[in-house]
Amino acid sequence: MAEEMDYQDYQKALQFDQRVTRMEALDHLTSVVIDGLKPNEGDRVLDVGTGTGRLAMVLYKRLRRGSVVGIDSGRGMLRVAREKTVRQGIENFLLVRGAAEKLPFREASFDSACLMLSFHHFASPEEATVELHRVLKPKGYLFSLDPVLLEPGDSQDEKLNEAIEEAFQEAHGPQFRFFTMSQLVGLYEAAGFSSNSYHVHEFSVDRRGIESIPMGAHWAQARGNMVFRRQKELVQRFERNYFAFATEGQKTVVTGKMRWATIRAAKG
């Protein structure tokens, strides 16, 4: 790896109040990506897995002479993004339907690329990183933000990570991957990127209602599966490292930690 993992910086980027709503958390993450990407106003930026354009709808404002191209494999997502661009009269946000694993662009087409909460959905992250490397200009770079699991310290941690990933795959399909930071960095570096900086951003939650944390139902499902299988040790580790659920009246109170990894990686 190119440098020491900067776990000391956990709190720096995500110092919002613990009682933020899910949407506020996502807005905050959007600004983390845009600040990390630091685009020049004439840049051509590729937003891979653009979804409904959450990131691109903020990013395009920074590109007065440039543009954002948003690509996504989901027809429904793109329809919503397209409606938003038409309604708001945005001209420098272009939308393309396609897969990250086979980007329909010539090599060296973009100054930078961003990936917000999308990489872990890709059917082949290996192919996607090679494609990203191909379409970036020689001095190009990418900035990605993805949820991550803790690095496993022993075989029980590995089982815990597998159990969490399995619960998310039940909801999102077998292509969904829940990486650790070192796995993410390894994937980018294998495609030829050099990772200039990477951080794990962690924030604590202490909230009523599992719906109030991002992907709360899936986290609850992961714990539920472990309880059902009587995997006591895994449940304890889950509660220590991720989330604990308690009942208060009709509501579930969630306490714990959620982590996102950001990686800035250069093509050269």
Q: Residues interacting with ligand SAM, by CB under 6 A?
A: 49-51, 54-55, 71-74, 77, 99-101, 116-118, 121-123
Instruction: In whole angstroms, give the CA distance from residue 193 to residue 5.
Output: 16
The token pair that represents 189 in the structure block = 């570096």
Question: C-beta of 64: minimal distance to ligand SAM in Å?
Answer: 22
Closest CB to ligand SAM belongs to which residue? 51
Please state the closest distance from residue 97 (CB atom) to ligand SAM, in A. Answer: 9
CB of 226 to ligand SAM, least distance (A): 24
Please, what is the minimum distance in Å from the beta carbon of residue 233 to ligand SAM?
31
12-33 core/surface letters (b: 16 or more CB in 10 A; e: else): ebbeeeeebebeebeebbbebb
Distance of alpha carbon 106 from the chain centroid:
25
Q: Tell me the pairing of strands 251-266 and 110-116.
A: unpaired
Answer whether 115's CB lies under 8 Å from 49's CB.
yes
Residue with tokens 């840049």: 43
Q: Which is nearer to ligand SAM, 112 or 118 (CB)?
A: 118
CB nearer to ligand SAM: pick between 216 and 237: 216
Nearer to ligand SAM, 213 or 235 (CB): 213
Closest CB to ligand SAM among 175 and 204?
Answer: 175
